[in-house]
């Protein structure tokens, strides 16, 4: 196959992936163009404006930035009360919600929409039970209330966490 034919085939694939598989589409665009962009500078600014290049200190700065960003000064942030009297969540509702989720999106560490879609009936029942427990008690398990943040650079060469 000639290079021109190969590029034409790739372009057709990209057009088809535009709506349904954007992650794969971008991989194919990179393959055709041969471009890889380096958006991270490997450094970040401290609160006082100093540039940090040490990896450990960069991680500490990110943690500081995230704490500042999500700081909650409300007096009563236990909003949920145990006085809900709604019907329980059904397996069908859980299955419908999973089917409506978009593919190749971050759902959590080690969990993908594709994985959730192939859960067997027994495991869907377990997920439904967990959701109903949360719904009934108003208590979210500690493991589900933790987040993993991954810095995705917004601007090339950005050094402020606000723009990374």
DSSP-H helix ranges across 21-105: 22-33, 55-69, 91-100
- Domain identity same for 92 and 129: yes
Asked whether residue 109 is domain-assigned, the answer is: yes
Per-residue confidence band for 89, with pLDDT thresholds at 50, 70 and 90:
very high
Asked whether residue 143 is domain-assigned, the answer is: no
- Domain identity same for 87 and 118: yes
- Structure-token match 């593919």, residue found: 103
Torsion, Cα 118 121 122 123, to 10 degrees, reads 30
pLDDT tens by residue, 118-153: 777 778 889 899 999 998 888 888 887 777 777 666
Percent of the chain with pLDDT over 90: 8
Whether pLDDT at 88 is above 90: yes
Asked whether residue 123 is domain-assigned, the answer is: yes
- Domain identity same for 132 and 90: yes
pLDDT, position 38:
54
Of 110 and 133, which is predicted with more confidence? 133
Cβ atoms of residues 126 and 116 within 8 Å: no
pTM summary value: 0.49
**CB neighbourhood size of 132 (10 A):** 14
């Amino acid at each position: 196959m000639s290079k021109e034919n190969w590029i034409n085939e790739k372009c057709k694939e990209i057009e088809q992936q535009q709506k349904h598989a954007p992650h794969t589409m971008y991989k194919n665009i990179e393959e055709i163009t041969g471009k890889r962009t380096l958006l991270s500078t490997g450094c970040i600014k401290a609160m006082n404006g100093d540039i940090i290049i040490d990896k450990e200190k960069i991680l500490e700065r990110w943690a500081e930035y995230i704490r500042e960003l999500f700081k909650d000064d409300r007096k009563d942030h236990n909003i949920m009360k145990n006085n809900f009297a709604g019907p329980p969540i059904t397996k069908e509702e859980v299955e419908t919600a999973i089917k409506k989720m978009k593919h190749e999106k971050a759902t959590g560490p080690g969990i993908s929409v594709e994985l959730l879609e192939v859960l067997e009936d027994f495991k869907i029942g377990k997920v439904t039970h967990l959701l109903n427990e949360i719904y009934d008690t108003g208590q979210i398990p500690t493991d589900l209330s933790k987040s993993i943040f991954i810095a995705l650079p917004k601007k090339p060469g950005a050094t402020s966490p606000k723009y990374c």
